[in-house]
Structure 1
Amino acid sequence: MTDARRPARSVPARGMLRGHLRRAFGRDGNPLGRPVDRHRSQAVLMAFLGIALAALVCAGATAADYAMSRPQALAAASRLHRVDAVTLSPPRGADPTVAGRTMYAADAYWSWPGDRNHTGSIAVPRRTSPGSTVSTWVDDRGRPVAAPPSATDTAVNALLIGLFAFCGLTVLVASGLTARLAVLDRRACDSWQSSWALYEPVWSGRTAPGKQAG
């Protein structure tokens, strides 16, 4: 004989959303439905709409940031120049960066603009020996500068800004939903206690307080 008991299935998110939608507009057909249940579903739907709106806003902000930052990066890159520098010393470790990586630098010399020679410290790979040729970036005066951001760097930065903004807005929406549901739960508890005080004496066969049995 097979066991008739089956594990309960989890309700799909789409079905839950459909149920909240019907309940929010009083279309669920549940005769035991209470106004507080409808208000709960309305709060959940508002949270879903808030998150969807936050996603659209952050996506637009990401696209706008990239569209604004990319021309600026190209304009800055047009004033930079890539030159070959010859190292004069072994690489030495600098302070770790934010990402935890240790950058290495070495003394080197290079020429820019034209035949004007410069010496200074540039970023190099870890295993660079003296006398090696290393490509580096300099400005119009020949001073070493960081490499200009690529299109990928600009896109990643814009995406990170959008993601941080979306996470922040989602936290705000979730906090608002939690606060609203807490208020509704207290309201439902107070209503249940009032109803219990009113109807329990009748259900239990006792009379209401202050009255005597007939």
Structure 2
Amino acid sequence: MTAVPDPAGRVPRLRTHLRQAFRRDGNPLVRPIDRARSRALLSAALGIVLALPCCAAAATAGFVSLRHRDSVTATGPHDVQAVALTPAHRLVGAGTGRARYEADAAWTSPDGRGATGTVAVPGGTVPGSTVGIRVDDAGLPVSAPPGAVRTAAEAACLGLLAFGGLAALVIAALGVRLTALDHRADRAWQHSWGLLEPLWSGRTPRDDRTG
């Protein structure tokens, strides 16, 4: 029967790293480089934890900014009634597969001038039908600003992207630090082996020269 490996036995616990980093373990066999490795891991974990509220604040600020942008994008939106001049024409969005309908229509702009153009209409619209549209001060059709749900989703995406970027930077910095510590450990091991190996093997520097 094969024993199932214990994840807790393979991955040092947070408490172990805390004790090693702050010299609270009382273990004389723990090397300074091991303590440096624990400090690097704890710093990376702390950086990722601190990134969460920072990104949440960025998402909140993004939500406020997007709502403000949406409120001032359209200059003086006005709801007017347009008269369809042609039947509704069905269009299918490329990539989305969603269908929408458009028709040529005429309406009166806010300054009293007549205007014509292509506007979104319900399916089944026939010439002479009236549809409600939104226009700016110049009488040009404008789209309705996105709702709060869509704006919140956009802000959340911005926050997630910011968190992903910060987490990637922290992990990359941790990798560089751990690699440097591994190289230092290898050099220290080679130096110690050069000093102790002759004592363990019984060889002497003279044996090396004569061999």
TM range (shorter): 0.7 to 0.9
Q: CA RMSD in A?
A: 3.1
Tell me, in whole angstroms, the C-alpha distance in 1 between the residues paired with 2:126 and 2:26.
82
CA 1:39–1:15 in structure 2 vs 1: closer, same or farther (change >3 Å)?
A: closer
Tell me the SS of whatever aligns to 1:148. coil
Q: CA deviation at 1:167?
A: 1.2
Partner of 2:161: 164
Number of corresponding residues: 204
Q: Who is 1:90 aligned against?
A: 88
**Distance in 2 separating the partners of 1:134 and 1:19:** 69
Cα contact 1:73–1:149 (8 A) shared by 2? yes
TM-score (norm 1): 0.78
Q: 8 Å contact 1:103–1:123 — kept in the other structure?
A: no
Cα distance per residue 1:28-71 (max 9 Å; x no partner): 34332111111111111111121122222221122223234324
User: In structure 1, what is the Cα distance between the partners aligned to 2:163 and 2:13?
Assistant: 23
Aligned to 1:39: 36
> % of aligned pairs identical?
44
Post-superposition offset of 1:193: 1.5
1:19 aligns with 2:16: yes
Structure 1 CA distance, aligned partners of 2:17 and 2:103?
64
Is contact 1:94–1:103 with CA below 8 Å preserved after alignment?
yes
CA distance in 1, matches of 2:66, 2:137: 22
Note the residue ranges of structure 2 that are not aligned, 5 or more in a row.
Answer: none
CA gap of 1:7–1:83, structure 2 versus 1, over 3 A, is same
Shift in Å, 1:148: 1.3
Which secondary structure does the structure 1 equivalent of 2:145 belong to? coil
What CA distance in whole angstroms lies between the structure 2 residues aligned with 1:16 and 1:135? Answer: 64
Shift of 1:187: 0.8
- Return the offset for 1:83: 3.5
What does 1:93-132 correspond to in 2, within 5 Å? 93=91, 96=94, 100=96, 104=100, 105-113=102-110, 116-124=113-121, 127-131=123-127
Contact 2:105-2:119 within 8 A present in 1 as well: yes
Q: Find the counterpart in structure 2 of residue 210 from structure 1.
A: 206
Match of 1:74 in 2: 71
2:133–2:141 Cα contact (<8 Å) kept: yes
Alpha-carbon shift at residue 22 of structure 1 (Å):
1.5
Equivalent position amino acid for 1:7 in 2: V
Determine the structure 2 residue equivalent to 1:176. Answer: 173
Aligned AA (1:53): L
| 1:20 partner amino acid | H
Unaligned runs of at least 5 residues, structure 1: none
The whole-number CA distance in structure 1 between the counterparts of 2:124 and 2:37 is: 65
- Per mean C-alpha deviation after superposition, the further-off stretch among 143-152 and 101-110 is 101-110
Q: 1:102 Cα deviation (Å)?
A: 5.7
Choose which of 152, 155, 158 in structure 2 pairs with 1:155. Answer: 152
Pair 30,91 (structure 1): closer, same or farther in 2 beyond 3 Å: farther
Superposition TM-score, scaled by structure 2 size: 0.79
